[in-house]
């Protein structure tokens, strides 16, 4: 803003714009009032079903949009009101000075704001008089310059505040900024930034408990604000940030492990969590304000460099970063290159020259939850190596996990250097790397299992979100899992090296049960190529499928869950076939649709009966637990809303009933005969459920099955599944 712009500004326009935003805000309040009324009427239970669920989901999104819109419009109104006040004040000050100058014959001011002396300033050429007026000229000029400079600064601050307030912070799902700030709030954030940086850079050995509390309070209050987080980390830079984190974390570790030191261990754990949340906010491109690729590359470079707060000790930056990654939900644009870099380091032969940096217990991690009871002190804490922290972070971001385990390699726009500054080689198969026995002792399975499940299914374990259709990266992850575990079939079985992963692999297999069945469709049938199944299908080797399912079938809970998924997938394949081949003779397609489910039943049954007969294992699962597990498996199948869940779940609760199998302990043939009969009954029920979904009555569906299928068909397919076990297992 220059002199003429300030002098001539029509500030009534600013007030009019502010009034317009005030009007928008008032209208939004009216809209939200109607929205609340509508939402209340829809959520009182009068409208239920899929359409109601979808409508409620949209209403929830609309409520989020309205709240964000209210926040942004209020911030914009407040900024504009503040702008009008500041500009009016500065314009009045400027005009007062101009009026003063206009009233002095010895001075003049032009349209550029330059003050000059007139001929009347010294008509007698008196040097003393001339000096007096020159002093006056300088004084007025400085006054005008100060006013214009202050107005320019205000203009820049207001423009920045308007830009920040209007920036979308939610990946386009909500088109308003839910974290918009007015001028006063922005100034408060800037002051908090400076205070936080000062405390982070303070010497932790001299920090008082009150200062640590203040630092945590600042981060807890402002850390997830994108403006605060981004500007703070930009100001510090990656190296300074990691060194500050390391210094504070090291002090926390000293307090945690030295009985002679009295310090606030929990306060330092809180600090790591707050810094992790701050880093996640600053690196999220969904926020209008976020750190750029250059900053992230700098962090990766700092991750392989020595931490400078302890001279002559080879502690690398990623050790300090690791505990932070376990807090917050990191965007895949940040987490994917970081995760690839850490994994590539762990796979690099040169790392053995830097054992202290890679494999010693992390000096910056001290969470008591990490300690393994009974382990020597120098082997604790085990979850604190950077790769374990990366796995935990990937579990919280399925998209990043899928890119890492199922993608085509690390993002090429970044450089990946080892500790010696040399280029790291990409990992050909990250799933094989993660599961390989070589790394088992260094990277425990209980850190990895959730990351692999998230990568395969697209959902974080424990999240109630519906399972989506699979992306190419999801599918590639699962194909790699099936291949590796198919080559190591005993690892998943009870007592195997990866027994702890069986629950996760059960969920993954349930999620992919339509894919599993479609890969078992009899060769030569038209069904596999022509039928319209949901989403793209994974490509599994039949032998790998057989070995993995047989190992999982040896776990009682896994068997029930997979049985539910298998039943639901059979219903899906039959329903899709009925739609696709309507009017054609059922004999041309029904085997393709119904047989794979019986194959799976045969494989699972053989695994379970084998384990029970061989081990004498007794069931500890109640009928209600069986129903819950079967229902869980049925609801896990990707991208589906299972029809006739009651028909699918209730009868199958008696299938694979371990209490009954126990009667055949020592007689595998008798046990399998029992399972064969119950499997045939329940496979028929799954077909009936599909036909009912297609519009048949229960009576019509039962008659259709009697005319086109027989118990002998299902029994034969079941035995074929058991035959796969003979063919593909030792």
| Dihedrals phi, psi of 245, to nearest 5 degrees | -60, -45
Cα distance between residue 304 and residue 326, in whole Å: 19
Cα 339 to Cα 334: distance, rounded to the nearest angstrom: 9
Cβ within 8 Å of residue 685, ≥6 positions away: 567, 647, 648, 651, 652
- At residue 41, the pLDDT reads 52
Query: What pairs with residue 115 in β-bridges?
Result: 109
Gyration radius of the chain's alpha carbons: 34
Whether 535 contacts 470, CB under 8 Å: yes
What are the φ/ψ torsions at residue 108 (nearest 5 degrees)? -145, 155
3-class secondary-structure state, position 622 = coil
Q: What is the DSSP letter of 348?
A: -
Would you call 225 exposed, middle or buried from its count of C-beta atoms within 10 A (0-12, 13-18, 19+)? Answer: buried
Distance CA 321, CA 428 (A): 26
- Cβ contacts of residue 365 below 8 Å, gap of 6+? 249, 253, 319, 322, 323, 381, 383, 384, 389
Q: How many CB atoms sit inside 10 A of residue 323's CB?
A: 28
Place of tokens 């309205």: 66
As to burial, measured by CB atoms within 10 angstroms (0-12 exposed, 13-18 middle, 19+ buried), residue 490 is middle
Q: How close are the terminal C-alpha atoms of the chain, in Å?
A: 82
Burial profile 274-286: b = 16 or more Cβ within 10 angstroms, e = fewer? bbbbbbbbbbbee
- Residues, the chain: 730
Whether residue 267 has a cis bond before it, omega within 30° of 0: no
Q: Is 397 helix (H, G, I), strand (E, B) or coil?
A: coil
Q: Measuring CA to CA, which residue among 650, 643, 645, 652 is closest to residue 691? A: 643
3-state secondary structure of 261: coil
Provide the pLDDT for residue 698: 85
b (16+ CB within 10 A) / e for 420-448: eeeebeebeebbebbbeeebeeebbbebb
Written as one string, the DSSP assignment of 530-557 is HS--SSPPP---HHHHHHHHHHHTTSHH
Residues 6+ apart with CB under 8 A from 358: 316, 345, 346, 351, 385
**111: CB partners within 8 A, 6+ apart:** 3, 4
The DSSP secondary-structure symbol of 111 reads: T
Which structure tokens are listed for 101?
């100058």
CA distances (Å), origin 284, targets 83, 329, 441:
30, 9, 33
Q: In this structure, what token pair is assigned to residue 597? A: 């489910």
| Entry pTM | 0.76
Tell me how far apart the alpha carbons of residues 597 and 595 are, in angstroms, rounded to a whole number. 5
Question: CA-to-CA distance for 698 and 22, rounded, in angstroms?
Answer: 60
Pairing outcome for strands 107-109 and 115-117: antiparallel
Cα–Cα distance, 465 to 469 (Å, whole number) = 12
pLDDT at 376: 44
In the 8-state DSSP scheme, what is residue 417? Answer: B
The predicted-structure confidence for 127-143, as pLDDT tens digits, reads as follows 888 888 889 889 989 98
Q: Report how far apart, in Å, the C-alpha atoms of 521 and of each of 143, 368, 431, 619, 663 are.
A: 87, 51, 27, 33, 33
The pLDDT assigned to 460 comes to 94
| Rama region for 579: left / alpha / beta (φ>0; ψ in -120 to 50; rest) | alpha
Nearest to 179 by CA among 225, 232, 228: 225
The DSSP symbol for 353 reads G
Closest CA to 496 of 455, 552, 443, 543: 552
Three-class secondary structure of residue 117 per DSSP: strand
Q: Identify the segments of the chain with pLDDT beneath 50.
A: 48, 51, 169-174, 352-353, 355-359, 371-383, 437-438, 641-647, 654-659, 661
As a whole number of angstroms, the distance between CA 602 and CA 717 comes to 8
**DSSP letters spanning 11-56:** THHHHHHHHHHHHHHHHHHHHHHHHHHHHHHHSSSSS-SHHHHHHH
| Residue 534, CA distances (Å) to 58, 459, 470, 585, 598 in order | 23, 18, 9, 23, 21
Closest CA to 510 of 396, 635, 390: 635
Residue 12 tokens, joined: 């009534």
Please name the residue ranges forming H helices in 355-419.
355-358, 386-395, 398-406
258: Cβ contacts below 8 Å, ≥ 6 apart? none
Nearest residue to 577 (alpha-carbon basis) of 717, 645, 569 = 569
Tokens of 458: 């697209």
Q: How many other β-carbons are positioned within 10 Å of the β-carbon of residue 373?
A: 5
| Alpha helical stretches, state H, 223-264 | 226-257
Per DSSP, the residues of 311-379 read: TT---BHHHHHHHHHTSS---HHHHHHHHHHHHHHHT-GGGGGGHHHHTSPPTT---GGGPPTTS-GGG
Q: How confident is the model at residue 684, as a pLDDT?
A: 77
């Amino acid at each position: 803003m220059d002199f003429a712009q300030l002098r001539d500004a029509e500030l009534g326009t600013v007030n009019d714009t502010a009034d317009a935003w005030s009007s928008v805000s008032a209208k939004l309040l009216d809209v939200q009032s109607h929205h609340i009324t509508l939402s209340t009427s829809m959520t009182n239970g009068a409208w239920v079903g899929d359409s109601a669920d979808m409508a409620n989901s949209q209403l929830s999104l609309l409520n989020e949009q309205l709240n964000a819109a209210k926040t942004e419009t209020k911030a914009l109104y407040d900024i504009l009101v503040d702008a009008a006040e500041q500009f009016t004040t500065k314009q009045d000050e400027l005009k007062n000075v101009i009026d003063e100058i206009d009233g002095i014959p010895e001075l003049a001011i032009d349209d550029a704001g330059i003050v000059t002396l007139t001929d009347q300033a010294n008509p007698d050429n008196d040097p003393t008089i001339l000096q007096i007026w020159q002093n006056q000229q300088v004084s007025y000029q400085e006054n005008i310059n100060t006013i214009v400079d202050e107005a320019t600064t205000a203009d820049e601050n207001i423009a920045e505040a308007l830009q920040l307030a209007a920036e979308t912070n939610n990946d386009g799902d909500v088109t308003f900024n839910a974290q918009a700030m007015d001028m006063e709030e922005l100034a408060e954030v800037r002051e908090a930034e400076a205070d936080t940086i000062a405390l982070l850079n303070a010497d932790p050995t001299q920090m008082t408990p009150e200062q640590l509390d203040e630092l945590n309070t600042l981060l807890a209050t402002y850390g997830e604000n994108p403006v605060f987080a981004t500007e703070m980390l930009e100001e510090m830079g990656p190296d300074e940030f990691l060194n500050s984190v390391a210094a504070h974390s090291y002090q926390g570790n000293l307090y945690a492990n030295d009985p002679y030191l009295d310090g606030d261990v929990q306060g330092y754990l809180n600090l790591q969590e707050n810094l992790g949340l701050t880093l996640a906010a600053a690196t999220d491109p969904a926020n209008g304000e976020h750190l750029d690729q250059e900053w992230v590359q700098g962090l990766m470079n700092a991750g392989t460099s020595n931490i400078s707060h302890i001279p002559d000790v080879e502690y690398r930056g990623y050790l300090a970063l690791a505990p932070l990654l376990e807090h917050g939900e990191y965007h895949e644009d940040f987490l994917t290159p970081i995760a690839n870099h850490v994994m590539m380091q762990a796979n690099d032969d040169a790392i053995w020259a830097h054992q202290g940096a890679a494999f010693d217990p992390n000096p910056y991690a001290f969470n008591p939850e990490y300690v393994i009871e009974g382990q020597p002190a120098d082997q604790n804490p085990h979850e604190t190596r950077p790769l374990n922290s990366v796995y935990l972070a990937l579990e919280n971001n399925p998209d990043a996990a899928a890119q890492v385990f199922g993608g085509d390699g690390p993002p090429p726009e970044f450089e990946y250097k080892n500790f010696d500054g040399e280029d790291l080689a990409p990992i050909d198969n990250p799933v094989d790397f993660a599961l390989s026995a070589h790394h088992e002792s260094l990277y425990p399975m209980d850190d990895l299992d959730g990351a692999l499940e998230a990568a395969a299914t697209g959902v974080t374990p424990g999240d109630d979100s519906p399972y989506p259709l699979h992306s190419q990266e999801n599918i590639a992850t699962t194909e790699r899992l099936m291949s590796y575990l198919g080559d190591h079939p005993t690892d998943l079985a009870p007592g195997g090296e990866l027994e702890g992963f069986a629950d996760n692999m059960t969920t993954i297999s349930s999620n992919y049960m339509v894919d599993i069945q479609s890969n078992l469709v009899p060769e030569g049938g038209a069904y596999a190529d022509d039928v319209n199944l949901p989403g793209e299908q994974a490509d599994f080797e039949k032998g790998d499928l057989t070995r993995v399912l047989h190992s999982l079938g040896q776990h009682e809970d896994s068997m029930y869950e997979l049985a539910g998924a298998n039943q639901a997938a059979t219903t899906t394949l039959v329903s899709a076939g009925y739609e696709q081949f309507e009017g054609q003779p059922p004999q041309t397609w029904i085997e393709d649709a119904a047989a794979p489910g019986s194959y799976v039943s045969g494989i699972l049954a053989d695994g379970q009966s084998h384990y029970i007969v061989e081990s004498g294992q007794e069931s500890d699962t109640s009928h209600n637990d069986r129903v819950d597990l079967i229902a869980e498996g049925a609801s896990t199948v990707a991208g589906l809303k299972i029809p006739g869940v009651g028909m699918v779940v209730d009868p199958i609760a008696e299938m694979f009933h371990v209490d009954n199998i126990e009667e055949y302990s020592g007689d595998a043939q008798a046990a399998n005969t029992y399972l064969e009969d119950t499997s045939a009954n329940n496979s028929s029920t799954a077909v009936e459920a599909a036909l009912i979904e297609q519009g048949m009555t229960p009576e019509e569906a039962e008659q259709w099955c009697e005319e086109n299928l027989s118990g002998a068909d299902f029994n034969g397919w079941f035995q074929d599944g058991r035959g796969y076990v003979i063919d593909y297992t030792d």
